[in-house]
Amino acid sequence: MIPKGEEAEYFSLYEVSDKGSSVLGPAVLALVLDATGSFRIGALAIAVFFVVGFGILARMNLPRGAATAGNELPPG
């Protein structure tokens, strides 16, 4: 799904989002833990990120995205 010739830009976006998530997760846990005093509710707050992410991935049309990016579709 990455357009040819733009691999470096997408890799750097991945790296920035990786660093952001390593800060955002613990920050959300700390804020929820401070507000509620419960690790369970904090873990549930982090689980919301996973549910939203899986929902976004489930709606993606990978063959269409690859074709839109100008890449050849894999056989099958």
14-36 pLDDT, tens digit per residue, is 999 889 889 999 999 999 999 99
> Is 75 inside any structural domain?
no
pTM over 0.85: no
> Is 42 inside any structural domain?
yes
> Is 28 inside any structural domain?
yes
Place of tokens 């890799």: 11
Distance between CA atoms of 45 and 25, rounded to whole angstroms?
A: 9
3-40 burial, b at 16+ Cβ within 10 Å, e below that, comes to eeeeeeeeeeeeeeeeeeeeeeeeeebeebbeeeeeee
Q: Which helix (H) or strand (E) holds 61?
A: none
> Is 41 inside any structural domain?
yes
Domain assignment of residue 60, given as a range: 7-68
pLDDT attached to residue 4: 87
> Is 33 inside any structural domain?
yes
pLDDT bin (cut points 50, 70, 90) of residue 46 is very high
> Is 51 inside any structural domain?
yes
In a 13 Å sphere around the CA of 8, the CA atoms on its Cβ side amount to 1
**Overall number of domains in the chain:** 1
> Is 1 inside any structural domain?
no
